Amino acid sequence: MKAQTESTTLGSSDPATRDLDLKSLANVHDPIPVYRWLRDHDPVHWSKSFNAWVVTRYADVLEIFEQPLKFSSDRFRKVDEKYASRRPAVQAVGEILGDWLVFRDPPDHTRLRSLLQKSFTPTQLENSRPRVQATVDALLDLVAVRGEMDFIRDVAFPLPATVIAVLLGAPTEDIELIKEWSDRLAAYLGGSVSGKDNFTEAREGVVRLVDYFRALLADRQRRAGGDLMSLMLQAEVDGERLSHDEVVSNCVLLLFAGHETTTNLLGNGLFHLLSNPDQAQLLIDNPALVGSAVEEFLRYDGPVPATTKIATEDIEWHGRTIRRGDMVLPFMSSANRDPRQFSEPDRLDVRRTPNRNVAFAYGIHFCLGAPLARLEGQVTFETLLRRLPGLTLQSATPRWKPMIFLRGLESLGLTWKRGGES
């Protein structure tokens, strides 16, 4: 049985004509009312526009992440005929992305994850802290005297892109090019609703990134360094190593996963913090709250609203029948606003504890880069509030990118008191 149909009528109080299409521009800008309605009335909802099941309650989203074999991540191999395509652009993207850790199931996932985890050690992370701090300071040095900036362009984009590119061993002067290719891939993975052909865009981006990292790999084979790519080439668990194709493919994954998401953590978090001046003041008065504040930004409006899984068997759930091969979309951003889990979920509370949000997913695919993203968030917010007093939003209604699976602002204009730096 198919659930509630989607209509283009906006703002209706009648559920039959309510706009439940999460791809409609109004809902991309503000999905919170639809999430609320779906959680209360249709928690496993058939979405015609996604051709997939939309799951919105916290407990149900967790259940999906807890059963990785029933809800497969292997969207390139397990997709049912109805999603498969013979188009060359689709196949080219699938060939590379199919090797990504995030799209593999056990036992392949277990093997890949333990090998990659060897390169993402606490020592590696601690070594990143001074670099993150120095990068934030250098970016703020460039703008501090101006008294205004576009936070996305001037800080939130270059910081994570620089950090991850340097971690991977790519020269900083290549960052702009890498960003351009990665943006094209984001059109597909982010679920762009801009009207362009997402697969063709993604293929262009992927092909360039793969060529780039292949060349870098050849260089690392000649001279290994302390970068992640060198560590991946050397990593060994139970006599197993990563193939060169796997190293290249997962470098593209780390690069992609490591920058756009963190950019959006910084942008979304700062926008909501400054829209809630009492919370901003709390954090200014007590910088030790920065850890719980970042966790709250992730919960309140996370960078990855949802992800894609494939049902590997028929499932009866909340009166619906999910068929084997159907796509199932756990909406973490809705789970993170579920009052069944969080008290006053629509209130931003930088002191919230406990805060078991699922912004980084949960279970075996829990984000490998979460410690790095948290570190970048904490250093950025602490430094911004310390160095730029009187931070104010230029507009209370900035524009959100027209994407579904990635959520972030096009730009974020800020002003502050010039010459007020301490």
Binding site for ligand HEM (CB under 6 A): 73, 101-102, 113, 164, 253-254, 257-258, 261-262, 265, 302-304, 307, 359-361, 365, 367-369, 372-373
Q: Which residues of 285-301 are buried (b: 16+ CB within 10 A; e: fewer)?
A: eeeebbebbbbbbbbbb
We find the least distance from the C-beta atom of residue 346 to ligand HEM, in angstroms, to be 20
Q: How far is the CB of 358 from ligand HEM (least distance, A)?
A: 8
Query: What three-state secondary structure class fits 341?
Result: coil
For ligand HEM, which residue has the nearest CB?
369
Residue with smaller CB distance to ligand HEM, 265 or 328: 265
Instruction: State the minimum distance, in angstroms, from the CB of residue 16 to ligand HEM.
Output: 33
Residue 364 CA neighbour count, 13 Å, CB half: 22
Give the nearest distance from C-beta 106 to ligand HEM in angstroms: 10
Q: Which is nearer to ligand HEM, 24 or 128 (CB)?
A: 128
| Nearest distance, CB of residue 140 and ligand HEM, angstroms | 20
User: First CA to last CA across the chain, in angstroms?
Assistant: 62
- Whose Cβ is closer to ligand HEM: residue 203's or residue 309's? 309
Q: Rounded to an integer, what distance in angstroms lies between the CA atom of residue 300 and that of residue 349?
A: 9
Residues in the chain: 422
Write down the H helix ranges in 169-243. 175-189, 198-222, 228-234
Distance, CA of 303 to CA of 231 (rounded, Å): 28
Q: At what angle do helices 158-168 and 122-143 cross, to 10 degrees?
A: 140
- Residue closer to ligand HEM, measured from CB, 164 or 229: 164
Nearer to ligand HEM, 67 or 415 (CB): 67
Q: Are strands 327-330 and 52-55 parallel, antiparallel or unpaired?
A: parallel
Tell me how many degrees the CA angle 103-105-108 measures, rounded to the nearest 5. Answer: 100
Residue whose structure tokens are 């084979």? 221
Q: Which is nearer to ligand HEM, 61 or 280 (CB)?
A: 61
Q: How far is the CB of 45 from ligand HEM (least distance, A)?
A: 19
Q: Give the torsion through C-alpha atoms of 173, 177, 183, 186, to 10 deg.
A: -90
Q: Nearest approach, Cβ of 329 to ligand HEM (angstroms)?
A: 10
Closest to ligand HEM by CB, 50 or 416 = 50
Contact predicate 350/291, CB 8 Å: no
Question: How far is Cα 223 from Cα 421, in angstroms, rounded to an integer?
Answer: 43
Nearer to ligand HEM by Cβ, of 2 and 366: the residue is: 366
The smaller minimum CB distance to ligand HEM, of residues 253 and 414, is found at: 253
Instruction: Indicate the pairing of strand 309-311 with strand 71-72.
Output: antiparallel
Contact yes or no for 4/15 (Cβ under 8 A):
yes
Instruction: Name the minimum Å distance from CB 376 to ligand HEM.
Output: 7
In terms of CB distance, is 113 or 203 closer to ligand HEM? 113
Tokens 């981006």 correspond to what residue? 205
Nearest distance in Å: CB 203, ligand HEM: 21
Token reading at 333: 């951003």
Residue 98 to residue 153: CA distance in whole angstroms? 31
Cα–Cα nearest to 307, from 102, 168, 145, 152: 102
Q: Report the nearest approach of ligand HEM to the CB of residue 152 (Å).
A: 15
Encoded amino acid at 378, one letter? Q
